[in-house]
Chains A and B, each alone.
Chain A
Amino acid sequence: MLPLLAIALAIGSGARTLAGEEEAGRLELVLSYPVPRRRAVAAKAAAVAVEVAAFCATAYAALALASQVFGLGLPPGRLAGGLLSVFLLALLHGWLAVGTGAATPSRALAIGVPAAAAAAAYLVGGLHGLAGWLDPFRFVSSFWWAGQAPLSSGVEYAHLLVLVLATAAALTAALVLIGRRDLDTA
């Protein structure tokens, strides 16, 4: 549940900050200032990261408190690892939203593309053990790399590195794509 909430927040933020601003016509004035497009997109990506990090920090505090109060006995290290995987999962999709917004001015697409990617990854990650033919595809599922049950069984930090790389790739794509097109000024 927590990863899905975090992803929804990240996609909303990523789509609003770039594609949404362009659709609203406000990006035109900002980009008429002496700001390189890449820097503007990098600043927006950073804002998404801050928002997701704040969400995860709040969730960490709430879960740590709940663990104390209800005696769940969650080791702080495992909780932190679990939330790090949630953070990376959400950031990946938030930056995919920024990247989609960098490629096209549509806010609907900037929500739809990462949401579809998340839904597919979620299904593959959850079903690959049940449906044998899906098994080879688990490697394209961000949820699989994030770990199936990080709070009970911990996270594989080597697997999280894959999420880090995918997230970096999404940001790189955003920075490249924004430089290549006409701003939508309709």
Chain B
Amino acid sequence: MTAAPAIETAALSKTYAGGVRALADLDLRVERGEVFAFLGPNGAGKSTTIRLLLDLIRPTAGRAWILGYDCRTDSVETRRRVGYMPGDLRLFDRLTGREQLDSLARLRGSVDSAWRRTLSERFAVVLDRPIRELSRGNRQKLGIVQAFMHRPPVLVLDEPTSGLDPLLQGEFRTLLHETVAGGASVFLSSHSLDEVQHVADRVAIIRSGRLTDVDSVERLRGRSLRHVTVTFSQPADPHAFASLEGVRVVGVEGVVVRLSAPVAAMDAVVKAAARHRLVDLVSAPADLEEIFLELYREEDDRA
């Protein structure tokens, strides 16, 4: 089993009662020791995938494995090896944070209690007040501690940093880096590229229950768009750019033309610009959020 990937799915599909197709033929492979981000807008099928991995819901078709154990037939073994943070974390409001963690630790069986204390300290978890009195961020911190406290080899985190303040988001990123450095794997769902681009090794993009893309963050950037601002010596016709493959004219203000262009089209852009007298040409990388949007636009164009 040592060779088995952290998470693997084969044609995993889920259609809910009522015919809602939440996930279609998902093929994924999360390697050991990587942070794998699972990205998509709300309702794209991220939580459905995660719940299938944990056997909380059952697939309509296809299979999934965690560390080689079948998520359906060996679900107790898979769940023993997973730390899970639900997207919508519900805790026992009457209990204090400490009581809740004690209760979950008993359910878990074996927990590294020194590590649990360290985690609680690092995230400044409020342990001695009833959970009903805690803010969303403070509840979320309890969610982090319970997911990491048994040092699981696989972490499945559904939108883990929502509600955390920026300082703790930084601490959380540090924790993720330490976790994968120790050989564990992280499956991280998010609807925001910004949130994952500093931690993820690879990114999968899911939309309407279908995987649209898997790539490394680096390559995603490399494939990425450039914001090109061309300043001519006199007003120029932007149509010469609009006809180029993948290029969009974002705006024209007098002598200044703003474009968004894939890296692959840069040569054509420069040659088209060079037919006129230039004052300036600035090319800047678009951020991942925009690349994300552009991928969606391509999808729509193809559909």
Are A32 and B76 in touch, CB under 8 angstroms? no
Complex: chain A residue closest to B16, CB-CB = A182
Is A108 part of the contact surface with B, judged by Cβ < 8 Å? no
For A77, what are the chain B residues with a Cβ–Cβ distance below 8 Å?
A: none
For A181, what are the chain B residues with a Cβ–Cβ distance below 8 Å?
A: 58
Is A135 part of the contact surface with B, judged by Cβ < 8 Å? no
Are A26 and B56 in touch, CB under 8 angstroms? no
For chain A, give the interface size range. 10 to 19
Binary interface encoding of chain B residues 84-103 relative to chain A, with 1 for a CB under 8 A from any of its CBs, else 0: 10101111100000000000
Are A28 and B107 in touch, CB under 8 angstroms? no
Are A29 and B54 in touch, CB under 8 angstroms? no
Of A24, A32, A34, A35, the residue contacting B86 (CB under 8 A) is A32
Are A28 and B91 in touch, CB under 8 angstroms? no
User: What is the CA–CA distance of A101 and B292 in the complex, to the nearest angstrom?
Assistant: 42
User: What is the CA–CA distance of A183 and B90 in the complex, to the nearest angstrom?
Assistant: 15
User: What is the CA–CA distance of A91 and B47 in the complex, to the nearest angstrom?
Assistant: 37
How far does the Cβ of B105 sit from chain A's closest Cβ, in whole Å? 10
Complex: chain A residue closest to B80, CB-CB = A34
Binary interface encoding of chain B residues 167-179 relative to chain A, with 1 for a CB under 8 A from any of its CBs, else 0: 0000000000000
Are B90 and A33 in touch, CB under 8 angstroms? no
Complex: chain A residue closest to B83, CB-CB = A32
Given A28-B90, A32-B86, A185 and B79 contact (CB-CB distance below 8 Å): no
User: What is the CA–CA distance of A24 and B90 in the complex, to the nearest angstrom?
Assistant: 7
**Which of A25, A29, A31, A35 counts the most chain B CB atoms within 10 A?**
A29
How far does the Cβ of A43 sit from chain B's closest Cβ, in whole Å? 10
Are B79 and A28 in touch, CB under 8 angstroms? no
Is A176 part of the contact surface with B, judged by Cβ < 8 Å? no
Are A183 and B51 in touch, CB under 8 angstroms? yes
Given A24-B90, A26-B91, A182-B56, A33 and B79 contact (CB-CB distance below 8 Å): yes
User: What is the CA–CA distance of A185 and B108 in the complex, to the nearest angstrom?
Assistant: 22
Complex: chain B residue closest to A32, CB-CB = B84
User: What is the CA–CA distance of A36 and B55 in the complex, to the nearest angstrom?
Assistant: 10
Binary interface encoding of chain B residues 106-119 relative to chain A, with 1 for a CB under 8 A from any of its CBs, else 0: 01110000000000
Among residues 19 to 72 in chain A, which have CB atoms less than 8 Å away from a CB atom of chain B? Answer: 24-26, 28-36
Are B47 and A34 in touch, CB under 8 angstroms? no
Are A33 and B47 in touch, CB under 8 angstroms? no
User: What is the CA–CA distance of A34 and B111 in the complex, to the nearest angstrom?
Assistant: 13
A-B contact pairs, 16 of them (CB 8 A): A26-B91, A26-B92, A28-B90, A29-B89, A29-B90, A32-B79, A32-B82, A33-B79, A33-B107, A35-B76, A36-B76, A182-B56, A182-B58, A183-B51, A183-B57, A185-B47
Leading 8 A-B pairs by shortest Cβ distance: A25-B90, A34-B80, A182-B57, A32-B84, A183-B56, A34-B79, A33-B107, A26-B90
